[in-house]
Amino acid sequence: MTEARVLPLRIPILDGESLDSWLETLGRRNGLTLSAFLRVLGMPRHHLTRLLVSAPPVAVLRKLEIRTGLPAGRLDQAVIGSDFPFGPRRQRRCRFCPQCLAEREGRWLRKWWLPWTFACTTHEALLHDTCSGCGEGVRIRLPGHTLRFPAGTCTLGSRLTSVCGTDLTSSDVLPLDSDHPLLAAQHRVDVLLATPSTAGTVLADLNQCTPWLMHTIDDNDIQTMGRTVRERWRRRPLATRTPADRVKPLDAAASGVIAHAALAFLDTPDDDSAVHAVHVLRSRRDTPNKVIPKAMTAEQWSRLSPGTRRRFLHAGDQIMGALDRVRFSSSTPRARVPEPGDRSASARIRNVPQLLWPGWTVRLMPQEGMQENLFRGIAAALLLLPGEPVLRARGVTDRLGPHLPSAMTVTLQRALKSGHPDVLTALCNLAHYLDDHGSPIDYERRRRLVPAAPITPDQWRELCFRTGTQPGEQLSAKTTQAPRYLNAQRYLNQLLTSADLTDPCHPLALRSAPDRSRYFAFPPSLTLDQRDALHRHALGVLHDLNINEPLTWEPPQKCADGLDLPGRHLEDIELEEVRRIVITEQRAPREAARELDTTLTHIRFALEQVPCEPREWGRSSSVGSWRLHQQAKTVLTADFLKSEYVDGDKTLTRIARETGIPRHIAVVQARALGFTVRRTRKPFPIDETWLREQYLTRKRSTLDIAEELGTEDETVRRRLKHLNVPLRPPGVHSRTIMTKIDTSLPRDVRSAVEGTLHGWLRLHRFHIAMRFPSLDSAARHLKTEPNALVTQFQRLERDIGKSLFTRAAFGRPQQPTPQGRRLLRDLETDRVRALMTASLPHDPTHAPPDDHVLEAAHAKFRTRRNPGPPTPFDDIAVERIRITRPTLALLHDLLARPNQKFYGAEVIARTGLDPGTVYPRLKRLEQAGWLTSRLEDDITWMNRATPGRGPGKRRTFYTLTSEGRRAARHETQHRATA
């Protein structure tokens, strides 16, 4: 390809000249029309002149610079970049100043193509939009007949029509005063154009605001702009009139008026003045509860820059709906339209309690017309609304309180009607503070980890006694009043998690109005020591959960600086006045609120800071008893009791009298330390070895031994029991030789009867019990207790030396073992039955059961109800299932590979469990949330196919979830320690 030649005849391009004007002049110099000259240059031909200025490729410009001998990049100043915000198509036309055109000998400026160049600041005049001769726009199409007419002439026309030929340099001048607003607006536009980065944003916003401003600007705004501007403004085209108006261009006067009005809020760093300017315009024709200004489409609104939309929202705060005002934060300088993917509102939930903080509740809550708990719950949910991309009030409320009614709009309307619209601003400021600084408390984690009952009844008793207060347990099961430890659990739970106790799903929910009243009366009833102890216990709960956070926290009150809110600061109320009215004078808190000109909620929170005066308790009270027990632990130590009670041979009565501790408390302390408490004098001394030899080896009776020692028979028997020596039956049966039976009887029968008392009775009861399905039904027939039968049958098994039966289990009746069945057969023989009948006393309970009794017992055993579902986990977010032995083996296998995906055949191969057991249990674990599953992908599935055959059934891969892993670990550890 040959190198492009430089044109022999060249003309330099003027400063500020447009590319089309220079090319036209250069063509005239070479004796060619513009169209012919473009063909010579090899440039793409356009029908519209504007395309030479706004759309030439960079490569074409570089080639043109070579052909014309210009330095590289010089022509970039003669064109308009493709990123320039031209706006609607109707504004893309060229204007001109006749005087400038004449002074430049028909050379056109580049800035005359810009839609927001409407005045000439050099000659202080409006620019012309059309030719005064033909009335058409100039330079719309490529200039023709350039060799017939001089530069600066209107050359519109064609072969079929005559050329206009009007000298544009002789057009009438449209003068403007030196202080005219349009000249000032043009100066501002020129300054903007000098900084393209800023100009792009401002002029793009100006393009989107144009339709709205055309409808909003009225005659009063242009009253001082002169007759010419007023007349041209009234003839402006409006898109709402006819479809033809949508393509009609705006003349210079209309563009200047719009730019003058728009730059007041688009090109100013002062937010207050910009918002005021928009507010004045929006207040004229806007529809109430509208976010987008009237006459501005949703598309135009979405194309506005964030800063401009913020000013529009801030200016339209008073005319928008209450929820939109909070969602867009329109009452604050940080007003914005949330983006679809904005997650700031969702992330804020970790920093928001379920109930609004007390200090902010008393400041924001209207004095009338709102329930406290409802307001606190709705206000906390409203903190999630700023920045929410989609307005779904129910969806926002459900994140914190699904039990709350759909009352967000009502709450905001009542706050506005109370005469304090700054409540909305305060809510937005709180949300912004949480976004900027976060919160030292992760409420979402606390709601998940803190137990529902942070303090047990025993811990509450100990805490109360240590602080010298009564625990207040429930004294009778007949009373419906909840014990004080339940309110202590509620107080701590709400202190730690800010939970809403009106939620019926909460384990500690307030069930009735009296229950709520008693709970509200609980905090003021606490003494200072008791309250401090509860707070220390709460900090201990956080420490046990590895939560390093403060106990409570609230956003600073500076978030409401300068705002007019319904309530005062919580610290503003005089606590001594509250104490005087409510505690000293015993008047209702409502009267205190009326006298102190505040709300009942304010008084209630203030009462929580007024400690109750402690009272003195006597020795007979529970507090006094606890103190005596603590004194006993301090005084009656193990060394003291050994010295005084064991070695010193003092009685506990004497020790109690000397120490001032009641005897029954001294007895409890002595037993707790492992001392044997004597009810009478010191036990009679008997040598253990000698006693065992006399009773066990020589077979002497307890009476003989007692006579030799000079003591009572019962003393010897008690000593033998203390030494765990089995006592022989009294009387003649105490001699084993007297209980010998015929050796021809079966061995198991002889083992159960010889050397024992009531052996035949135990055999007889075993013979009857084995006909029943369980020991419970057998005990009912025998008129005895099941535990008695258990003890007697254990004695039988110990005497015989083998297990005789298996206990009944769920769905399975008791069954004799092979040894037990052999014993039952032996008991059926005539000789054994006769001996057993002769040895038993006459008693109706010894009669064998009838058939209908047995049938009823078996029928009742078969119809027993299934056990209920297992108790749910406290802090693991999965459903709890019943753990059987196969399930436990399966869980052990899964925990050995916690993060590994698996399928059923692998588990069967590892554990040896039956497939009919494994697959249903895997499905049950998945339904309960322990496992997640996915089908095998196509590639792996096809790779497993046997050649010549299909791939078969897809595998289902399972994986333990994090919560499922916790649940499995809990169940296996529980079974291991059980």
| Residue environment code for 660-697, b if the CB has 16+ CB neighbours within 10 A, otherwise e | ebbeebbbebbeeeebeeeeeeeeeebeeeebeebbee
Evaluate if residue 864 carries a pLDDT over 70: no
Does residue 454 contact residue 537 with C-beta atoms inside 8 Å? yes
What is the enclosing helix (H) or strand (E) of 174? Answer: strand 174-175
110 burial type by CB count under 10 A (0-12 exposed, 13-18 middle, 19+ buried): buried
Whole-number percent of the chain with pLDDT over 90: 6
Nearest 10 degrees: Cα torsion 537, 543, 549, 553? -10
d(CA 946, CA 948): 6
- pTM for the structure as a whole: 0.61
Residue type present at position 973:
Q
**Cα angle: 675, vertex 679, 681; to 5 degrees:** 95
d(CA 553, CA 575): 21
> 12-16, 649-653, 726-730, 886-890 — which is least confidently predicted?
726-730
Write out the DSSP string of 181-199: HHHHHHHHHHHHHTSHHHH
| Residue with the larger pLDDT of the pair 166 and 680 | 166
Angstrom CA distances, 638 to 26, 446, 626, 675, 753, stand at 120, 44, 20, 9, 48
pLDDT tens per residue, range 638-688: 888 888 887 777 788 888 888 888 888 888 888 888 887 876 666 677 888
- Strand-pair category, 125-126 with 815-816: unpaired
Q: Where do the H-state alpha helices sit in 646-696?
A: 652-659, 663-672, 688-692
Nearest 10 degrees: Cα torsion 733, 736, 738, 740? 130
> 186-200, 259-273, 691-705, 729-743 — which is least confidently predicted?
729-743
What is the enclosing helix (H) or strand (E) of 12? Answer: none
**Cα angle: 418, vertex 423, 429; to 5 degrees:** 175
The whole-chain average pLDDT of the chain stands at 82
d(CA 179, CA 195): 24
d(CA 173, CA 918): 96
Give me the phi and psi of 809, to 5 degrees please.
-130, 180
Give me the phi and psi of 932, to 5 degrees please.
-120, 155
Please enumerate in sequence order all residues whose Cβ is within 8 A of that of 383, keeping only pairs 6 or more positions apart, or say none: 348, 352, 356, 427, 430, 431, 434
Return the residue matching tokens 């209920």: 868
DSSP 8-state secondary structure symbol assigned to residue 584:
I
Under the banding of pLDDT at 50, 70 and 90, the label for residue 91 is low
pLDDT number for residue 819 = 92
Out of 46-55, 181-190, 200-209, 832-841, the most confident range is 181-190
Average pLDDT on 332-351 reads 81
Angstrom CA distances, 274 to 312, 333, 564, 742, 877, stand at 9, 12, 24, 119, 52
Cα end-to-end distance, the chain, whole Å = 93
Per the structure block, which two tokens stand in for 154?
């209107």
Under the banding of pLDDT at 50, 70 and 90, the label for residue 868 is low
- Strand-pair category, 805-806 with 956-960: unpaired
Please enumerate in sequence order all residues whose Cβ is within 8 A of that of 256, keeping only pairs 6 or more positions apart, or say none: 118, 119, 126, 182, 185, 186, 229
Give the orientation angle of helix 457-466 with respect to helix 484-497, to 10 degrees.
Answer: 100
What is the enclosing helix (H) or strand (E) of 54? Answer: helix 50-54
- Strand-pair category, 956-960 with 931-935: antiparallel
Average pLDDT on 509-521 reads 84
d(CA 189, CA 703): 127
Neighbouring C-beta atoms of residue 405, cutoff 10 Å? 12
Per the structure block, which two tokens stand in for 500?
């809403």
Does residue 218 contact residue 264 with C-beta atoms inside 8 Å? no
Does residue 576 contact residue 584 with C-beta atoms inside 8 Å? no
pLDDT number for residue 737 = 41
pLDDT number for residue 481 = 62
3-state secondary structure of 721: helix
Please enumerate in sequence order all residues whose Cβ is within 8 A of that of 872, keeping only pairs 6 or more positions apart, or say none: 879, 880
Evaluate if residue 571 carries a pLDDT over 50: yes
Under the banding of pLDDT at 50, 70 and 90, the label for residue 544 is very high
Angstrom CA distances, 398 to 331, 394, 403, stand at 25, 6, 8
3-state secondary structure of 781: helix
d(CA 296, CA 160): 43
Give me the phi and psi of 169, to 5 degrees please.
-70, -15
Does residue 537 contact residue 414 with C-beta atoms inside 8 Å? no
Nearest to 487 by CA among 469, 473, 467: 473
pLDDT number for residue 109 = 92
Does residue 567 contact residue 365 with C-beta atoms inside 8 Å? yes
Average pLDDT on 298-317 reads 86
Average pLDDT on 505-517 reads 86
Whole-number percent of the chain with pLDDT over 70: 90
d(CA 168, CA 133): 9
Evaluate if residue 448 carries a pLDDT over 70: yes
What sign results for the dihedral spanned by CA atoms 871, 875, 880, 884? negative
d(CA 249, CA 110): 19
Evaluate if residue 738 carries a pLDDT over 50: no
pLDDT tens per residue, range 781-827: 888 888 888 898 899 999 888 899 998 877 788 899 999 899 999 88
Under the banding of pLDDT at 50, 70 and 90, the label for residue 902 is confident
d(CA 27, CA 127): 27
Evaluate if residue 475 carries a pLDDT over 50: no
What sign results for the dihedral spanned by CA atoms 700, 703, 707, 713? positive
d(CA 891, CA 898): 10
Under the banding of pLDDT at 50, 70 and 90, the label for residue 730 is low
pLDDT number for residue 719 = 85
What sign results for the dihedral spanned by CA atoms 80, 82, 87, 88? positive
Average pLDDT on 397-402 reads 80
Out of 234-238, 624-628, 635-639, 737-741, the most confident range is 635-639
Does residue 172 contact residue 97 with C-beta atoms inside 8 Å? no
Evaluate if residue 867 carries a pLDDT over 60: no
- Give me the count of residues in the chain: 978
Evaluate if residue 908 carries a pLDDT over 70: yes
Q: How far is CA 10 from the centre of its chain?
A: 74
Evaluate if residue 269 carries a pLDDT over 80: yes
Average pLDDT on 89-94 reads 67
Please enumerate in sequence order all residues whose Cβ is within 8 A of that of 620, keeping only pairs 6 or more positions apart, or say none: none
pLDDT number for residue 2 = 46
DSSP 8-state secondary structure symbol assigned to residue 947:
T
Give me the phi and psi of 371, to 5 degrees please.
-75, 145
pLDDT number for residue 735 = 47
Evaluate if residue 477 carries a pLDDT over 60: no
Under the banding of pLDDT at 50, 70 and 90, the label for residue 548 is very high
